[in-house]
């Protein structure tokens, strides 16, 4: 059963300009130290973090909240250590997911990322197996 679907799209150049203007402090507002330290093997930093930004926004939308006082940027973390990036939820995001999930069910957010034409996009589908 589908619990939520979220999508987000961002012009990579927009994030690139913000990185030039605000530096690492800009990333520290949205990404955990582990996410910032993760090596960007095949992508430049602006593309990498644009995808991460979109993933977090899409997940928050799939949870039905957006980024707000209850679901913070740091409550949604992207784990790039696996062949396909995974979302790990904590804090308010985990609480919201548990609220949306039926008793006895397990829900896991599925993440799809893409880049084309100077745009980064993420789609998140949260579903249970029942």
How would residue 48 be classed by pLDDT, with cut points 50, 70 and 90? very high
Instruction: Give residue 129's pLDDT band: very low, low, confident or very high (50, 70, 90).
Output: confident
The pairing of strands 86-89 and 107-116 is unpaired
Q: Report pLDDT for 110.
A: 95
Angle at CA 60, nearest 5°, toward 56 and 66? Answer: 115
Domain harbouring 71, CATH code = 3.90.470.20
pTM for the complete prediction?
0.93
Total domains in the chain come to 1
Tell me which residue range forms the domain holding 58. Answer: 2-128
Answer yes or no: is pLDDT of 37 > 90: no
pLDDT score, position 118: 96
Could you report the per-residue pLDDT of 50-80, keeping only the tens digit for each?
999 999 999 999 999 999 989 999 999 998 8
* Nearby residues of 19 by Cβ (< 8 Å), 6 or more positions away: 26, 27, 45, 46, 49
Question: 8 among the known binding-site residues?
Answer: yes
Q: Tens of pLDDT along 6-33?
A: 999 999 999 999 999 998 899 999 999 9
């Amino acid at each position: 059963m589908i619990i939520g679907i979220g999508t987000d799209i961002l012009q990579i150049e927009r994030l690139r300009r913000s990185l030039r203007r605000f530096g690492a402090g800009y990333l520290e507002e949205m990404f955990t130290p582990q996410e910032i330290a993760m090596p960007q093997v095949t992508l430049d930093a602006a593309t990498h973090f644009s995808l991460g930004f979109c993933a977090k926004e899409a997940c928050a939308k799939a949870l039905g909240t957006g980024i707000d006082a209850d679901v913070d940027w740091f409550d949604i973390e992207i784990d790039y250590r696996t062949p396909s990036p995974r979302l790990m939820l904590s804090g308010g995001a985990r609480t919201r997911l548990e609220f949306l999930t039926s008793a006895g069910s397990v829900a896991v957010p599925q993440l799809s990322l893409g880049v084309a034409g100077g745009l980064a996009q993420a789609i998140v589908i949260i579903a249970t197996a029942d």
